[in-house]
Amino acid sequence: MNPSNFYDFYQNRINKQLLNMFNTLPFQNSILIKSMKYGALIGGKRFRACLVYICGEMFKVHIITLDAISIAIELIHSYSLIHDDLPSIDNDAFRRGNISCHVKYGESFAILSGDALQSLAFHILSTYVMPGVSDKKRINIISELSYSIGSTGMCIGQALDLEKDIKQLNMCELDKINLYKTAFLIRSSMRLPYLSSNFFSKKILSLLDRFAICIGLAFQIQDDIFDFKQDTEKCKKNKNIYNTYPNVIGIQQSKKKIKTLYQEALSILKILKKKSFIINKLELLIDFIMQRSK
């Protein structure tokens, strides 16, 4: 199986689902809707949505249910990127190879579009048809996602990032920031389909959590290496980029840490395989991710 084939399939599916959903919204000509579409539809690897679909297949979740979860996850991710790019946070003029939302539509509309994308994600999870998902499961899904992105997840990660001193962090402190800021939403990309299924095992959930955290941190380190290589001057001058893995532990140690996380993720998949779960797509996905050029 070629990993790019199924990755392209899931990427095309979620892009179509997102576009169809946005086209049903009122006020299509408003700057708000245009900025929301821009932030969510332009570019994007859809890695988190791909995880939703693959994990959902493992646990035999209906693909219509996975569509709803994937849309919600991608909306949350897009909202976080729009807000991260704002002048008051990371002050980035470019995102996904295009100018940032606040540069194109203005800071006020970027803030509103991020807010609207977040609320839209929960509207979808609470109202979309999700075959096989009881109301109790739906509440658990909403609870999980909200927990992973607020003051106990992504937002506290961003806050820790903003609160850090100009002095260089150690690797443990950096891991903590990226655990909350990046890995927790990736963890939800696996937890939500699992919570939609008819399986329940604390041991399996724990394995999924560890796997997601491994690939989430590896993904972040890889992005840090890409950014470091592309613009070392920016890394030296911008305090928000200074505390990245290549700056803290160097390029070679960063690559070594990716390899360690990758091997741990593979060992977790072997355990799941012994429990009769089909893990070949997850194996191919992490190979695909580790070999990506950006």
Specify the amino acid at residue 190: M
**pTM for this predicted structure:** 0.93
77 — pLDDT class (breaks 50, 70, 90) = very high
Each residue of 35-51: pLDDT tens digit?
999 999 998 889 999 99
**Three-state DSSP state, 129:** coil
**Three-state DSSP state, 91:** coil
Instruction: Please enumerate in sequence order all residues whose Cβ is within 8 A of that of 177, keeping only pairs 6 or more positions apart, or say none.
Output: 157, 160, 161, 164, 169, 243
Each residue of 134-178: pLDDT tens digit?
999 999 999 999 999 999 999 999 998 888 755 667 888 899 999
Question: DSSP of 244-282, one letter per residue?
Answer: SHHHHH-HHHHHHHHHHHHHHHHHHHHHHHHTT---HHH
Numbers of helices and strands, H then E, in the chain: 16, 2
Quick one: pLDDT at residue 6? Answer: 84
Strand partners, 95: 98
Find the mean pLDDT for residues 223-237.
67
Q: What angle do CA 292, 46, 149 make, to 5 degrees?
A: 115
- For position 64, which CATH number holds? 1.10.600.10
Give the chain's mean pLDDT. Answer: 91
Quick one: pLDDT at residue 164? Answer: 72
Q: For the ranges 103-112, 119-128, 148-157, 278-287, which has the lowest average pLDDT? A: 278-287
End-to-end CA distance of the chain: 22
Quick one: pLDDT at residue 37? Answer: 98
d(CA 176, CA 217): 10
Q: How many domains does the chain fold into?
A: 1
Helix axes 184-196, 135-149, angle to 10 degrees: 180
**Three-state DSSP state, 84:** helix
Determine contact, residues 70/113, Cβ cutoff 8 Å: no
Each residue of 238-273: pLDDT tens digit?
544 467 888 888 899 999 999 999 999 999 999 999
Give the domain extent around 183: 3-290
